[in-house]
């Protein structure tokens, strides 16, 4: 039996009301990873203000007539200033629009959602935060890597490899990061990967520590390469791995051989996902 089953009515979903902003996460790519609440917001919004990381298939779920406003950096277009984005959200809300501010992953994980929420609060604009699946959780799962595994790591450290200055974050204690949790997951680290790998090795991480780089995770373009801390910076260049990408460092990477489920499951009709490997 494979009769189409209508989606259930979820009780007590709040409404996206005129004059409100919902600050929502879209997950890492696959529209199936949207939360019910984010999808509800997408279907109710008058205006969706979105980042470059939000998958086109997610944006395709809006009602006809919904205005899509791009606020981000893509294809050489200049990046909208954070202050301008917050100002625009306030302006739309004050004009009585139902506003969905949609960000890749989770809005509060390396996504400047906190800054936008603060601006809305200060302006007296009503808002709700709709969490999303952050890339480290969803992206690693789609690459066959559990973020934690009882036999591998009881802790994980999430780090951004890119400060607002554009440089490697210098306020971080890299020695503590190297020696704190067995697993470190880097966001936004492709540009500075050679420097970060050196910082971790100088702080005591072994050269042969396993590393995985996953680009465009949970999209049809997902690619992964495996290397070591000593070889990963060169491998990323050789294999032309480009952002958005995650870098997972530590023993969980060894589990991918057993748990890389994406390429081996029977493909669901039309999902188009294919675990392509680089290298
Ligand atoms: C500005 S941060 C936004 C993070 C987002 N708020 C989240 O919770 O995932 C952008 C970085 O997230 C990571 N990222 C987001 N989506 C990704 C994806 N589908 N595949 C790989 N990395 C991704 C990359 O490291 C990218 O450079």
| Mean pLDDT value across residues 252-266 | 73
Q: Quote the pLDDT of residue 220.
A: 94
Distance separating alpha carbons of residues 263 and 261, to the nearest angstrom: 6
Among 34-48, 75-89, 93-107, where is mean pLDDT lowest? Answer: 75-89
CA of 12 to the centre of ligand 1 (A): 31
Nearest Cα neighbor of 128 from 13, 228, 247 is 13
With a cut of 60, say whether residue 253 has pLDDT above it.
Answer: yes
- Residue 75 CA, ligand 1 centroid: distance in Å: 17
Looking at residue 5, its pLDDT comes to: 77
Sketch the domain layout of the chain as residue ranges.
Answer: 21-133, 136-257
Residue 78 has pLDDT above 60, yes or no: no
Nearest CA to ligand 1 atom 22: 245
The minimum-distance atom of ligand 1 relative to the CA of 216 is: 20
Q: Are 201 and 230 in contact (CB under 8 A)?
A: yes
What pLDDT is attached to residue 263?
64
According to CATH, the superfamily of the domain at 21-133 is Tetrapyrrole methylase, N-terminal domain (3.40.1010.10)
Over 90: is that where the pLDDT of 157 sits? yes
| Residue 52 pLDDT > 60 | yes
Active site positions, annotated:
51, 73, 188
Class of CATH domain 136-257: alpha beta
Distance between CA atoms of residues 254 and 3, nearest Å: 40
What is the average pLDDT score of the chain? 90
- The kind and range of the H/E element at 130 are strand 127-130
**Contact by Cβ (8 Å): 232, 201:** no
With residue 274 as reference, give the H or E element that holds it: none
Say what the pLDDT of residue 274 is: 44
Handedness of CA 244, 153, 157, 101 (dihedral sign): positive
Å from CA of 190 to ligand 1 middle? 12
Contact 218, 138 (CB under 8 A): yes
Give the pLDDT score at 261.
Answer: 75
DSSP-derived 3-state class of residue 75: coil
d(CA 190, CA 186): 9
How far is residue 102's CA from residue 106's CA, in Å, rounded to a whole number?
9
Higher pLDDT, 264 or 120: 120
Q: Identify the residue whose C-alpha is closest to ligand 1 atom 3.
A: 111
């Amino acid at each position: 039996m494979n009769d189409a089953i209508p989606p259930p009515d979820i009780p007590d979903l709040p409404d996206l009301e005129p004059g409100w902003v919902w600050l929502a996460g879209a997950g890492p790519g696959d529209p199936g990873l949207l939360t019910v609440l984010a999808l509800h917001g997408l279907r109710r919004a008058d205006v969706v203000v979105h980042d470059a990381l939000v998958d086109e298939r997610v944006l395709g779920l809006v009602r006809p007539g919904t205005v899509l406003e791009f606020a981000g950096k893509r294809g050489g277009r200049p990046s909208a200033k954070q202050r301008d984005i917050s100002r625009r959200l306030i302006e739309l809300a004050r004009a009585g629009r139902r506003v969905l501010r949609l960000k890749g992953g989770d809005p509060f994980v390396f996504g400047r959602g906190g800054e936008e929420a603060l601006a809305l609060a200060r302006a007296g604009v009503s808002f709700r935060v709709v969490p999303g699946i952050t890339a480290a959780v969803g992206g690693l799962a789609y690459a066959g890597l559990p973020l934690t595994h009882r036999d591998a790591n009881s802790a994980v450290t999430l780090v951004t490899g890119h400060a607002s200055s554009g440089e490697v974050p210098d306020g971080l204690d890299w020695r503590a990061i190297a020696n704190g949790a067995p697993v470190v997951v880097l966001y936004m680290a492709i540009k500075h990967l050679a420097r970060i790998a050196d910082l971790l090795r100088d702080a005591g991480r072994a050269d042969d520590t396993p590393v995985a780089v996953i680009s465009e995770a949970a999209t049809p373009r997902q690619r992964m390469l495996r290397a070591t801390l000593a070889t990963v910076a060169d491998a990323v260049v050789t294999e032309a791995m480009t952002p958005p990408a995650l870098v997972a460092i530590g023993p969980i990477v060894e589990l991918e051989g057993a748990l890389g489920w994406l390429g081996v499951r029977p493909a669901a009709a039309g999902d188009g996902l294919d675990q392509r490997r680089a290298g």
